[in-house]
Structure 1
Amino acid sequence: MIPISSTVYSIKPIQSPRELDASFPVMNQLRTDLTLAAYRELVAAMRPQGYELYALYADDTIVSLAGIEVRVNLYLEKHVYIYDLVTCADHRSNGYGEMLLHFVHEYARDRGATYVALESGLARTEAHRFYLDKMGYTITSYSFRKRL
């Protein structure tokens, strides 16, 4: 007998303040320095620039998030940039990150994007393996920054 999951999966944009607040515990696992107030403020400031936040729900529970934006520049042309991609620690290794990333790829294709790009912290070696080995990404550059 093959077990059949009755879990219902859906990917929806985070739009309302209530949805944003409900997504915070998952986002906070990636952006650990954020407070709820800062999260609200930063997302509100990013939205006019084109930032969109999508949640993957397993039944009615947010298990994974992707914060994305369509961008254009000289080296990637039209592309979707992933600012945030996180799966709740309690739900990792269930394929949720892969499902959400496939959604982002399709989202990018639908908008005529040439690439999907992201940055990943140096210490996130499991995430790097996921991007490289499972999802077919390549490492093309280093990212530098200087705090002012």
Structure 2
Amino acid sequence: MNAVAQEIKEINLEKDWKNAFPLIKQLQPELNENSFYQLINEMIPQGYKIVGLYVEEKIVAIAGFSIVTNLYFQRHLWLYDLVTDHKQRSKGYGKVLLDYLQDFAEKKECGTIALCSRFDRTEAHRFYTEKMGYEKTSYVIKRNLRKLEG
């Protein structure tokens, strides 16, 4: 059996964000490309990084994350985004990225990887808990605020 060339690399140039956006759009369908670029430009100075899993030089999965510290989790890797292209699912690519992030987090002296996931993403929850050993420990509770008029 031939080995398929896989590589994980940071996506840090605007031209590469363009290749990542279609995957982010699968996870966040309400997001448009302009908003994506604006948000990324605001998030990167706060430590946000995106890594992509490339198979034979084509991006098949991405993960967006930051190393942050708070009182609840202390120093941890917060996983904002993890998505495998819907045409490439069930090939182990999500596991490859999570294994990479676990190693990255351990090297950065993090004690935890944490994330938030919408209630309707039951397949994602099953992936995290049953296949990857994550546990559900809390709810994320939010309140939308009125947008300030400019």
User: What is the TM-score of this pair, normalised by structure 2?
Assistant: 0.95
In structure 1, the gaps of 5 or more residues are none
Task: Provide the rounded CA distance (Å) in 2 between the counterparts of 1:38 and 1:57.
Answer: 25
Match of 2:148 in 1: none
**Secondary structure of 1:127's aligned partner:** helix
1:125 to 91, 111, 122: 122
Match of 1:10 in 2: 7
2:18 to 17, 21, 38: 21
Give the AA of the match of 1:57.
Y
**Secondary structure of 1:62's aligned partner:** strand
Task: Determine if the alignment matches structure 1 residue 102 to structure 2 residue 99.
Answer: yes
Match of 1:38 in 2: 35
Q: CA deviation at 1:7?
A: 1.9
Match of 1:113 in 2: 110
In structure 2, the gaps of 5 or more residues are 146-150
Task: Provide the rounded CA distance (Å) in 2 between the counterparts of 1:52 and 1:145.
Answer: 24
**Secondary structure of 1:66's aligned partner:** strand
Match of 1:71 in 2: 68
User: What is the TM-score of this pair, normalised by structure 1?
Assistant: 0.96
Q: CA deviation at 1:75?
A: 1.3
Per-residue CA deviation, residues 37-76 of structure 1 (Å, 9 max, x unaligned), is 1111100100000000000011111110100000001111
Match of 1:142 in 2: 139
Aligned residue pairs, count:
145
RMSD, aligned CA: 0.7
Task: Provide the rounded CA distance (Å) in 1 between the counterparts of 2:2 and 2:136.
Answer: 36
Task: Provide the rounded CA distance (Å) in 1 between the counterparts of 2:24 and 2:6.
Answer: 19
Q: CA deviation at 1:6?
A: 3.8
Task: Provide the rounded CA distance (Å) in 1 between the counterparts of 2:56 and 2:121.
Answer: 28
Match of 2:47 in 1: 50
